[in-house]
Structure 1
């Protein structure tokens, strides 16, 4: 009887080892750092390969990812069709997340030659709060001892925000801020804050170089964009 018991014990231990190895492999296949990145309401889901994939280059050709999303509070997940069998490490969910005050989740899993990882879910994503606003587009032309600054907001996705057709400035309650520096003095000052897209800076000293930058500002929440590229002009 003893040999038989030893044999059964060996099978039991072997099966446990196999289960542990399978679970370990599945765990190592799970995508890493699954998260949304949002700029100007362009909402992109990003992730990184599982640990097994980063340590073995032979995996790369056989790896595919599937993406699903849902609105917070809804039970069922929805497949993102053109990201259901992708080898990329990102998926554009801008259209699917275009109600910018809603809460969303995304999730990703990996398929390696028929072996599926578990789904990895993002944190709750609310575009209104999470999107980052780019700097305004700015053009500077010289007048008579003055500079004319033309401003334009960053581009929104063509289908978002779906719930309102107002301009980005009005919907998001954004203001333009314009700053100027006399390069001889090296001191910057804010010369404008408001909603106008055309700003004239007058009474500038001739034969001096002035540099202008701008940003978008949301006073309600104290949020601001990055600054625009600096434009420098020598007043004639």
Structure 2
């Protein structure tokens, strides 16, 4: 017969091993790299599977809240999702507010702990796409027309809402003389229609543009090139 102290030691060891194993399982299921990715106020919560998860065997549960609130809110469309992202644009539409999101995973009846994002404020952190550029030849000059990036549908339902309503934006326009392989900045300002004059006849030019946000000292990527032959 096993001595009482040995049996007690066995139970304690079994219990501790079980608890440690459960904690290890929960930790290995925990979603990784949970963060917001935001472009033009289109705010997507993204994450990576936990270390123990492969394939589509797991589901995820998403919650969000405004900084300072105690109560988390469920995102119903992402409650039990198999995706690795969740669109929280509508839930984070007050762009001056700081938000948090969090995600937990479930697999084979086990649930992970919650994994939370850093604080996220859309106005500070959203990235602005480059402008869309159109060019037209007018009497040997180029007329450059710049279009600001589109906002998500939620903002488009409000009339005349533009990304320019949220930031001071400056447009930078560059022209590239393909014959000389030379680039020159020809404009920086708030106007979205720019005329480029004094172009060399029988030459090929390309135009690109970017957006600059002075308050944040941040610029967008450059637009696609628009090219033309000057007769």
Q: TM-score range by the shorter chain?
A: over 0.9
Instruction: Classify the secondary structure of the residue corresponding to 1:227.
Output: coil
Q: 1:52 corresponds to which residue?
A: 52
Q: Is residue 94 of structure 1 aligned with residue 66 of structure 2?
A: no
Alpha-carbon contact 1:184-1:208 (below 8 Å) kept: yes
**Contact 1:177–1:214, Cα closer than 8 Å, also in 2:** yes
Offset of residue 162 of structure 1? 9.8
Count of matched residue pairs: 231
Maintained 8 Å contact 1:99/1:163 = no
Instruction: For 1:202 and 1:127, locate their aligned partners in 2 and report how far apart those are by CA, in whole Å.
Output: 39
Listed one character per residue, the Cα deviations across residues 99-134 of structure 1 (whole Å, up to 9, x for unaligned) are: 111100000001113311100110000001110000
The 1-side partners of 2:159 and 2:95 are apart by 10
Compared CA separation, residues 145 and 162, structure 1 to 2 (3 A): closer
- Cα deviations by residue, 1:45-104 (Å, 9 ceiling, x for unpaired): 0001110004xx5xx33x110000000011100000100110000000000001111100
Match in the other structure for 2:129? 134
TM-score, normalised via structure 2 length: 0.94
For 1:177, the equivalent position in structure 2 comes to: 172
Give the distance between the partners of 1:159 and 1:203, measured in 2 at CA.
43
Q: CA deviation at 1:14?
A: 1.2
CA–CA distance in structure 2, aligned partners of residues 113 and 220 of structure 1: 49
State the 1:231 CA deviation. Answer: 1.4
Q: Residues 177-218 of structure 1: CA distance to partner in whole angstroms, max 9, x if unpaired?
A: 111111222221111122222211112110011111001111
1:4-23 alignment, distance < 5 Å:
4-23=4-23
Query: 2:172 and 2:72 mapped to 1: Cα distance?
Result: 42
**Which ranges in structure 2 are unaligned for 5 or more consecutive residues?**
none
Tell me, what secondary structure is at the counterpart of 2:80?
coil
The one of 200, 203, 217 aligned to 1:205: 200
Q: Distance in 2 between matches of 1:5 and 1:114?
A: 35
What root-mean-square deviation, in Å, do the aligned CA atoms of Structure 1 and Structure 2 show? 1.9
Change (3 A) 1:100 1:159: same
Q: Which has the higher strand share?
A: 2
Unaligned runs of 5+ in 1: none
**Matches of 2:188 and 2:74, distance apart in 1:** 44
